[in-house]
Chains A and B, each alone.
Chain A
C-alpha cells in the first residue's frame, strides 16, 4: 500500500497533490496495491470525492484537539504514527514547501532515506527513480532503499490524470498521540500580502523581463502589457541582481516556478536556470533581438525585435483590439 499526503485548500485538493497522486498510483501498481491518502485541517474529509477520481481506496483524516493549522512536526508525527498502523510500502508527498518539510521530518524520525522531487519511479527491492537536480536543469537516476520508501513528487512534472473508473474511498478518522514538543513549530499567524495583482505562481499570464529590459523604468511597458492581459510581471535572476525588480518577481531555479497559460519572455536569453522556472508554462512567446538566443529554441512562438519597440506596439494593438 502507498500512503500519500494530500494538501488542500478548504477541501479542494492542490493541483500538485493530484500530480503526486498520479505518481503514487504508478508506485501502487508496481507494488500490486492501492493508494491511501492522509490529510489535515478543515475540509480534509470533504476531499474524498475528488480523491475518488484519482483511484484512492482509503482516505485518512487526521483529527486532534490541538491540530488547527499547519504544524510540521505534529503533521510528521501523525503521518509516522499512521504509517506504524498501516505499514505502507511507500509514503509520498507533493514537492511543495510543506510536502518536503513534513516528509523530511518523517524521514528523520524513522531514520529512513528520502528522495526529493521525483518524476518517475520503478518499484523493486530498491526503487529505481528519476529525480530533479539543479532545480530541473539536470536529471538524476538514483536508487532508493529503506524499509519504507519516502519520496516527494516534483511539481508540474507529472501531469495529474484521473482514473478511468473512479473509486469510492472509505473515510477513516485517525487520532494521533501528540505532545507539546510536536507543537513547538506552528503557523502563528498569516499576513496578507499588500502587493496587488495575482501572485506569480498562480498567474494565467506572466510577462517576464530580463537583462534586455535595460533598467527598472522600462518595466513600465511590461507592467502595462501584463495589466492589459490580466497577468503579472516576472523577471530573470539577472534583472533581480541588477536591482531592477524585487526578488519576489524572480522566475527560475531559486525563484518562483510558474505555470501560466502564456509566458511572454522579453529580453530573456533563456539560460537553463531560468527555463526550469517557466517550463510549466503551456506556451512561451519570446521577444528577443537575437534570433540565436537559447529562448528561441525553447519557446513556441517568437518575435525577433527590440522589446522596447515591440511591447509598446503590442500594447497599442491590444488596446485597439479591445475597443
Chain B
C-alpha cells in the first residue's frame, strides 16, 4: 500500500534533516583538519618565538605560508562539494594575515606579545560569528579561545609564549579531535 501524503511529507522532511546533519558532519571533519594543522603550526611558532625572540618575524614568515600551502591542499579535498574552495581558502587566510599586518601598521609600536594577540583574537571572533550563524560548536571554540587568549595576556605574561603554544595551539589541536566526534 502506498504511503499517505503525511507519510510522504514526513519522509521528505527526514531526508532534509539527515542531509543537514551529514553536511554538518562533513563541515566539522574538514574544519578539524584545519584546526589540527594550524594548531600544530601555532604550537611550534609560539614555542620558537619564546626560544628565539630575535627571529619572531622570520619564524612566522616561514610558518604561515607553509601552513597555508598544506591547508590549501587539505581544503581542496572538499572541492567536489564546495566549488572554488582552493581560492576561497587562500582569500580567507590572506584576509586574516592582511588584517594582522594592517593593525600593526595602525597601532605601531606594538610589543611582540601584543602583536601576537591580533590574529588569534580575530580568528576567535570569526569562530564566534560562524558559530552563531551555522554550527554551535564553533561558537564554543571561539569563546573559549578568546577567554584563553585574554587570560594568558593579562595574567601569564612571564610564560606568555608557552601559554600561547599550549593554550592556543594546543586548544586548536584538542578542538580538531573534538570536531571529529559528531
A and B associate in one complex: no
Interface residue ranges, A against B (CB under 8 Å): none
